């Protein structure tokens, strides 16, 4: 049985379209399960507004999705804008129609069991309370990129294809440097996508600047040597709760401008699910029809 999922995001200013993940929902076969962040301080700092409405939403939604079987009665949602009885059909309508401060990422499907999927999505998309006291480094960004891409490919084509097509790390020749290490590549007999990952949560700004420069050099060199490869970078954006947030934000903006100049697409953390589905599209349309015995060499 297929299980679907969506990520719940807060979007304080829909025009600016800046967003933060606050919850995950899995559903299928009449079951709906959800999980939200447990510490709202980072969300409050990000939103820069009273988030009581968001906490109330999380409480109501959580109550309405407490059921774990199709026969269990779900708690009603008595707010006027909500359905009084949350079903898969009504949830899908919310996913497609909600476009204000609370939004849902596009629905995606997988063959993973609901409990396993909920735990995995929580680990990938919801920020642990420790996030407020520390920060995720570049390695965390790499893990997010690889896990999200493989998850999307696995959902369509199976675990073995996902593991072998989504490579991390991967070495590739550049135009100037003979051997460049990519954080992730999507390939069979050739490379389709080259990805570097960065975390702008870092408090070590000189190290962050060095990592950003290296990522740009690698992607630029790969692009000059291989014109048919999509160049992308997945980033964890600056943490608004950190004292060096403004400096990190400026470096992030500079990095965005540099990526635009050399044709590199930036994928921010909240965009990862949609990005991963595009990866799966490439694998399904361009790699799977041409599978052969040498594709994994």
Q: Are residues 214 and 155 in the same domain?
A: yes
Q: What is the pLDDT of residue 131?
A: 43
Centroid of chain to Cα 121: 10
What's the rounded Cα separation, in Å, for the pair 185 and 109?
A: 23
What's the rounded Cα separation, in Å, for the pair 237 and 240?
A: 9
Of 117, 132, 147, the one marking the end of a domain is 132
Of 105, 132, 159, the one marking the end of a domain is 132
Q: What is the pLDDT of residue 259?
A: 96
296 within some domain: no
Q: Are residues 269 and 186 in the same domain?
A: yes
Output the average pLDDT for the chain.
Answer: 84
Q: Are residues 285 and 145 in the same domain?
A: yes
Q: The domain spanning residue 217 has which CATH number? A: 3.40.50
What stretches of 166-242 show up as alpha helix (H) in DSSP? Answer: 205-225
What's the rounded Cα separation, in Å, for the pair 1 and 161?
A: 20
What stretches of the chain show up as alpha helix (H) in DSSP? Answer: 41-47, 52-64, 88-97, 114-125, 138-157, 159-165, 205-225, 245-262, 272-282
Q: What is the pLDDT of residue 128?
A: 53
Q: What is the pLDDT of residue 127?
A: 62
Stretch 8-33: mean pLDDT: 88
Q: What is the pLDDT of residue 119?
A: 82
Q: Are residues 69 and 143 in the same domain?
A: no
Name the burial class of residue 241, with classes exposed (0-12), middle (13-18) and buried (19+) by CB atoms within 10 angstroms of its CB.
middle
Q: Measure Cα distances from 47 to 21, 28, 84, 150, 201 in Å.
A: 12, 31, 28, 31, 17
Q: Are residues 185 and 112 in the same domain?
A: no
Q: Are residues 52 and 196 in the same domain?
A: no
User: 251 pLDDT exceeds 90?
Assistant: yes
Q: What is the pLDDT of residues 188-220, one digit of tens each?
A: 888 999 999 999 988 788 899 999 999 999 999
Q: Are residues 264 and 154 in the same domain?
A: yes
Of 71, 98, 132, the one marking the end of a domain is 132
Q: What is the pLDDT of residues 72-131, one digit of tens each?
A: 333 334 344 444 467 888 899 999 999 889 999 999 998 888 878 888 888 788 865 544
Range of the domain at 213: 138-290
Q: Are residues 170 and 250 in the same domain?
A: yes
Q: Are residues 279 and 145 in the same domain?
A: yes
Q: Are residues 125 and 216 in the same domain?
A: no
Q: What is the pLDDT of residue 69?
A: 34
Domain total of the chain: 2
Stretch 149-174: mean pLDDT: 90
Q: Assign residue 24 a region: left if phi > 0, alpha if psi is -120 to 50, beta otherwise?
A: beta
Q: What is the pLDDT of residue 228?
A: 93
- Find out whether the peptide bond into 207 is cis, omega within 30 degrees of 0: no
pLDDT band at 1 (very low <50, low <70, confident <90, very high): low
295 within some domain: no
Q: What is the pLDDT of residue 71?
A: 33
pLDDT band at 134 (very low <50, low <70, confident <90, very high): low
Q: Are residues 127 and 153 in the same domain?
A: no
Q: Are residues 202 and 274 in the same domain?
A: yes
The answer to whether the CB of 155 falls within 8 A of the CB of 109 is yes
């Amino acid at each position: 049985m297929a299980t679907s999922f969506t990520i719940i995001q807060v979007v304080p200013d829909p025009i600016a379209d800046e967003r933060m993940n606050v919850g995950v929902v899995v559903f299928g076969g009449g079951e709906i399960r959800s999980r939200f962040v447990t510490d709202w301080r980072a969300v409050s700092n990000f939103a820069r507004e009273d988030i009581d409405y968001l906490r109330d939403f999380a409480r109501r939604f959580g109550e309405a999705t407490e059921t774990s079987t199709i026969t269990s009665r779900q708690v009603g949602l008595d707010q006027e804008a909500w359905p009084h009885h949350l079903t898969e059909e009504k949830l899908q309508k919310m996913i497609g129609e909600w476009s204000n401060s609370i939004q849902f990422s596009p629905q995606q499907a997988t063959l993973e069991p609901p409990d396993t999927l909920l735990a995995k999505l929580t680990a990938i998309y919801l920020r642990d309370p420790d996030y407020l006291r520390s920060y995720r480094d570049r390695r965390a960004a790499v893990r997010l990129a690889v896990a999200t891409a493989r998850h999307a490919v696995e959902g369509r084509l199976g675990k073995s294809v996902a593991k072998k097509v989504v490579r991390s790390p991967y070495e590739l020749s550049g135009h100037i440097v003979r051997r460049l290490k990519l954080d992730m590549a999507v390939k069979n007999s050739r490379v389709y996508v080259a990805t570097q990952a960065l975390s702008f949560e870092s408090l070590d700004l000189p190290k962050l600047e060095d990592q950003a420069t290296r990522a740009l050099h690698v992607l630029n060199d790969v692009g000059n040597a291989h014109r048919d490869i999509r160049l992308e970078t997945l980033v964890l954006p600056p943490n608004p709760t950190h004292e060096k947030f403004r400096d990190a934000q400026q470096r992030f903006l500079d990095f965005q401008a540099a990526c635009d100049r050399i044709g590199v697409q930036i994928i921010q953390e909240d965009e990862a699910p949609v990005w991963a589905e595009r990866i799966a599209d490439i694998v399904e349309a361009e790699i799977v029809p041409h599978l052969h015995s040498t594709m994994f060499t």
